[in-house]
Every structure is written in C-alpha cells, then in structure tokens.
Amino acid sequence: MERHQKEVVAIAAPLLFLKFAAYAVLLGLAGWALNEQLDKKLHGGNAATPYLIIFSLITGAVGLASVTLGYLSLSGKPESNAVAAASGLVAWVLSLLALGLAAKQIHVGKVHNKRLKALEAFAVIVSGIELLYLIAAHVGLALKSTCAAASTTAPAQSDRKPTTTETV
C-alpha cells in the first residue's frame, strides 16, 4: 500500500466509524419515534415532527449504505472511490433536508419529549459529520489522482540516460 493511500485510510476509517455510529443512533431514534407515532403514544411533538421522522429514517438508511460503500472504497479500487463519494454526497443532501426539518421543529417549539430533542440534535450532528467525510474523501481522491498522474509522467531513474555533463 502506498504512503498516500495509507494516509487517506488513516483519515477515512475513523470518520467512517463515526458516521456509522451517528447514522445508527439517528435510525434508532427515528424508528422509535415512528413506532410511538403509529401507536398514538407520541406526545410532545409539533407539526414538523412527522416529516422529521420520515426524513430521518430515509437519511439514516442512505447514510448507512454510504458507510458500507465507504468501507469498500478503502480497498483502493478507483471505481469504488467514485461510488463512495457519490453516495456520500446523496447522504449529505438528505441529511441537510433532515437538518432543515429539525431546525423548523426547534423554531416552532412545543417539543417536550427528550428523545425527540435527541432526534433533532442527531439530525444536525449527522449533517456535520457527513460534510467532514465528504471533504476528506474528496481530498483523498485528489491526492490519489495527483500521485497517480505524477507516477505515470515521471521517468523512472533507471530508464534515464546520463547526459555528457553527468558522466564524470
């Protein structure tokens, strides 16, 4: 494994673990809230709550899929890197939608349930973590493409013929 690839893995692996944990918590809280809402036991929400629950579930599912593709991209295959970056971008856009709904729910107020407040908080946290991962993934892709381009254009030391000034 090349040096730049080890650096990318050293940065991406902890972020992927953090993404996995955040999306798992988001899915757990949103699943609980949906179950409570369907059983008509959910109290303390407002008009934005049902939409926040649905978008949090969708965001969590797509986010966990992007974590899986991110782990596959650590293998070093170029095509898996592009797929992981694209799925991360989709997960980030969905997390921004959930963030917007959480902001609306906070703005409207009247939320007295601690788990719903935790769902709001994780909707905000997940979007930040996903943004950090996207930045790291794109920096890693840029490093890989730059190093690959440099290795193909630079002549190997043994292939180079010495010039008359070099032979003494």
Other Cβ atoms closer than 10 A to 14? 11
Nearest-angstrom CA–CA distance, 100 and 62: 17
What are the pLDDT digits (tens) for 10-27? Answer: 778 899 999 999 999 999
Q: What is the pLDDT of residue 21?
A: 96
Report angle CA 132, 135, 137 to the nearest 5 degrees: 105
What are the pLDDT digits (tens) for 60-93? Answer: 999 999 999 998 888 767 777 888 889 999 999 9
What are the pLDDT digits (tens) for 102-131? Answer: 999 999 988 888 999 999 999 999 999 999
> What integer is the mean pLDDT of 49-57?
95
Q: By the 8 A CB rule, do 125 and 29 touch?
A: no
Q: Distance of CA 103 to CAs 7, 24, 124, 126, Å?
A: 36, 21, 8, 14
pLDDT for residue 134 is more than 70: yes
pLDDT for residue 37 is more than 60: yes
In degrees rounded to 5, what are phi and psi of residue 136? -65, -40
Band of pLDDT at residue 29, cut at 50, 70 and 90? very high
In degrees rounded to 5, what are phi and psi of residue 163? -85, 175
Secondary-structure percent of the chain, ordered helix, strand, coil, rounded to 5: 80, 0, 20
Enumerate the domain spans of the chain. 3-150
Return the H-helix or E-strand segment holding 125: helix 114-153
> What integer is the mean pLDDT of 121-149?
82
Structure pTM? 0.80
Q: By the 8 A CB rule, do 74 and 34 touch?
A: no
- Give the torsion through C-alpha atoms of 151, 154, 157, 160, to 10 deg: 150
